[in-house]
Structure 1
Amino acid sequence: MTALMDATSEQVSTLDELVDLLQSVERTISSLQAARDGILSLGSRWAVEVADQAQHPDAADMTARSVAAEMATALRMSDRTIQRRMVDADWLVTRFPLVWAAQGSGRISAAHARVIVDAAEHLDAADDRDAYSTQMIALAEVESPNRLGRMARRAAERFQPRSLDERHRDAREQRGVWVTDAADGMAKLGLLGPAALVHGVFDRLTGMADAVKAANAADRDGGRSAEPDALAATVDGRTVDQVRADLALDLLLTGAPAGHDGHAGALSAIAAHISVTIPVMTMVGRDDVAAELDGCVPIDIDTARRLAGAASGWDRVLTDPVDGSVLAVDRYRPSARLRRHLRARDQRCRFPGCGRSPSESDIDHTHDAALGGATQEQNLAHLCRRHHMLKHHTPWHVERLDGGVLSWTSPAGRTYVDRPQPPNTVRFRDSIAPPF
């Protein structure tokens, strides 16, 4: 019996109309996304044109950053995100115009276009790209993006003028590691590297996890594991995935980089360093006031308390009990008091929309020190290196307002205000009651 056996003809007709409507909406969305890519591509070309006209020596880098910042602040987004989109859009529009046009007409989706472009990023000849695009657009009209991916890679390989070995040598230059914050006090660690090494890492972690699970099973059955001292303490109900993750973090935090370290073991001596904001109410037993890692990611209370107990010293951030603003920062041991105060106040880069932490940022004089700007809290703010450069080498201008507030003026004359992020603290009242 089919699932829709009891549906009336009118109900089936309604479903058919819904599918038609959904297809129409998806075509419209694809067309609008293609239009957005066209605008972003024009912005990228505009930056190059202005830089060429002025003979900028940086190949339009700072001009492109300024344009991206202009667009991003207007959209309340990160300018890094917008600049990446500008690059991707210009790549699609200029190198794969047939794919862009197909998306603009609603024939294929943005997901199809991305799969097609990604698989052929190394095709240098315009004729090869056009021939490849024509073939893949026809397939994209009848296949899903996930199925199209494998077809696209195979098709692109036939047009490749360079061997896989040559392309792999270039691709190795893109290797890297990154962190993406997740919900509930978690984060993701990403790694891009040679496939043989990455799969080897995963295989080794799997082998270790299987050994731990086998030891657990032996202990549960009353048997004796081959390595009782090393594995007996790991008896638990973790899955293989969980054991793999625990082992990877254990190895990365405690393992020695034998292939890179010198005779003195300088790299092995480097330890992980993090900053944790813990309200005093948490330390005295309150579990309903969250702690934060590096001012941006909540972490569980037990972890926060263990980190605080193991710390050699604490920064104490004194906050106003009414509005939550930072009043002062001190420490039991002498150190750079002003730097700690700025870290506690800013908690991130102070360019609108940027979330880089103070540890990844410079302390900038809002009024340039070379022009008489004072080195004091009222004239200092954290700017990541990208936005520090943007402030000094583009028409973007910043002014200091009261309460640590910064007012940014864009090259187009638009104004954006950035306020210090409220600290992770306890406020007893939302506002001061009016006097009577």
Structure 2
Amino acid sequence: MPALLDATDSQMAMLADLVEGLEAAEKTLSSMQAARDGLLAMAGRLAVDIARQARHPDGGDMAIRTVAAEIGAAQRVSDRTIERRMSDASWLVERFPAVWEAQGAGRISAAHARVIVEAGAHLHDPDDRSRFAAEAIEVAAAESPNRIRRLVRRLADRFRERTLVERHRDARELRRVWVTDLEDGMAELGARGPAALVHGMYDRLSQMAHAVLEENAQARRREAEESILDDRTVDQLRADLLADLVLTGAPAGHDSEEGLLSELRARVEVTVPVLTLMHGELMHGEQERTTEGTRILAAELDGIIPIDPATARRLAGAASGWDRVLTHPISGALLAVDRYRPSENLRRHLRARDQRCRFPGCGLAPRKCDLDHNHDAALGGETAHDNLATFCRRHHMLKHHSPWHVEQGPGGVLEWTSPTGRTYIDRPPPPHTVTFAEEPPWSPAVSPRVEGMSSPESDRSGAAGHTVSPANR
């Protein structure tokens, strides 16, 4: 029976009104997005004009960063994101003005505009771009973004002067691998490379995965009582096989004479709550609390990404040293960092306190950052925790080569002042801690000890939260 056969006239009229309203809303949204792109493009042009007036040796890069930081801080968005948006908006407005105008008029959506701009990005002649844009807009006005993708690519190829061989040679220079962090202790690994190699990699993983599935099917048919049946899907097998090949395989054809690359091991920094390490029964189970009812907290990768307790314990077992972070039992504020093998105490203290770049909106992990004096050491600034903070290289440079100004207050709180006079407060994130509301589940007489670590009751600093992190570095 047709789904709307029993709908009343009033219900159908309501549906018609909803469709009309949504259509109008989409046009308004496209127009507003085009207006935002126009403003972002103007901001980019302003930064370039300012840089040209001052004849900056960096070609305007610092001016663009400064403007992006001003906008990003006001919108509570990373300045890297704003800079990327400024670049995309400038490309759209300046190179494809007809596409931008069509979006502003509501003829096409922002998604249509992105597809058209991506397809025509390599058209360098202004006349070719204009003719391509005019034809692409007509196609986009009648189809969805997904449907026009292949059509506008073919259309753009008609206007290209360079052959596929020439374009592929340049495109190979953009090959890379990247990581995107996800929820629940997961992450994505992406790779860009020649299509033949990428499809070959995927095909090999698929063949290996299907071979495992076939073996599993044969094992089920044999009904071998002692065999451990594998119920992984083909996608799960591809992922597991990829991890095995990358983490255990030697880089044939790329290694040094000494075989150094094959000896390298993946390096991660993990923060592990002490209760997670103590309760090994979680290695093979799903229990989330100790027998005494204390909740076992997740460990963290780079102080940001949660990982499951079993993985944390396996990583901890291979660690060459320990960092212990002591925190105040009430406020959670960082009090001290010590280590079984002491070295660079202050650096570890600041990494544990800051956990990321301290510029507003930036979340880059501390191991990729610099430590910088708030008050220059050359001008008498002390090398101490209350005069140091963690900054990524981008914002380290911005701090020294732009009108942005920062002051550090008690507890590592930073007060930033933007070039236009806006003020932003950046506080250290709370450390990943375990705070005992009641007596811990062990007694002083049988308090667990790790070599080089004092027991909880022996700490006289008032710290009750213990974060233990294996240090493979």
TM-score (norm 2): 0.87
Structure 1 residue 283: deviation in Å?
Answer: 2.4
List per-residue Cα deviations over 1:282-331 (Å, max 9, x = no partner): 22334532211111111111111221222122111111111111111111
Deviation for aligned residue 1:112: 0.4
1:381 counterpart SS class: strand
Question: Aligned residue for 2:153?
Answer: 153
Looking at structure 2, the residues matched to 171 and 383 of structure 1 have their Cα atoms a distance apart, in angstroms, of 33
Residue 234 of structure 2, aligned match among 209, 216, 240? 240
User: Aligned with 2:260: secondary structure?
Assistant: coil
2: distance between equivalents of 1:59 and 1:194?
33
- Which structure would you say has the larger RCO, counting Cα contacts within 8 Å and 6 or more residues apart? 2
Q: 1:58 & 1:331 partners in 2: Cα distance?
A: 42
The CA deviation at 1:425 is 0.9
The answer for the alignment partner of 1:346 in structure 2 is 354
Name 1:329's counterpart in structure 2.
Answer: 337
Q: Which residue of 1 aligns with 2:69?
A: 69
> Which of 299, 302, 316 pairs up with 2:307?
299
Alpha-carbon distance, 1:4 to partner: 0.8
> Aligned partner of 1:185: which letter?
G
Partner of 1:422, secondary structure, is coil
User: Are positions 1:281 and 2:267 aligned together?
Assistant: no
The equivalences for 1:98-117 within 5 A come to: 98-117=98-117
Question: Is 1:424 aligned with 2:432?
Answer: yes
> Counterpart of 1:396 in structure 2: which amino acid?
W
Q: Does 2:266 align with 1:258?
A: no
Contact kept? 2:337, 2:349, Cα under 8 Å: yes
Q: Is the 8 A contact 2:219 2:227 kept in 1?
A: no
- Structure 1, unmatched stretches of 5+, are 225-231, 430-436
SS at match of 1:323: coil
For residue 189 of structure 1, what is the aligned residue in structure 2? 189
How far off its partner does 1:223 sit? 9.1
Report the counterpart of residue 433 of structure 1 in structure 2.
Answer: none
Q: How does 1:24-173 map to 2 (within 5 A)?
A: 24-173=24-173
Q: In structure 2, how many angstroms separate the alpha carbons of the residues matched to 1:82 and 1:98?
A: 23
Residues 101-148 of structure 1, C-alpha deviation per residue, up to 9 Å, x if partnerless? 000011100000000000110001111111111111111111000001
* AA at the equivalent of 1:401: G
Q: Distance in 1 between matches of 2:222 and 2:322?
A: 46
Q: Note the residue ranges of structure 2 that are not aligned, 5 or more in a row.
A: 280-289, 438-473
Report the equivalent of 1:272. Answer: 266
Give, in angstroms, the shift of residue 197 of structure 1.
1.1
Share of identical aligned residues, percent? 63
2:324 partner SS: strand
Calculate the aligned-residue CA RMSD, in Å.
1.6
Rounded to whole Å, the distance in 2 between the matches of 1:266 and 1:12 is: 71
Matched position secondary structure for 1:364: strand
Specify the code of the residue in structure 2 equivalent to 1:258.
Answer: A
Q: Structure 1 residue 427: deviation in Å?
A: 3.7
| Pair 1:249-2:243 in alignment | yes
Whether the 8 Å CA contact 1:323–1:427 is kept in 2: the answer is no
Counterpart AA for 1:306 = R
CA distance in 1, matches of 2:376, 2:248: 43
CA contact (8 A) 2:136 2:152 kept: yes
Counterparts of 1:387 and 1:8, CA distance in 2? 61
Deviation at 1:235, TM superposition (A): 4.3
User: How many Å separate the matches in 2 of 1:315 and 1:288?
Assistant: 19
- C-alpha separation in 1, matches of 2:228 and 2:387: 53
- Contact 2:299–2:309 under 8 Å retained in 1: yes
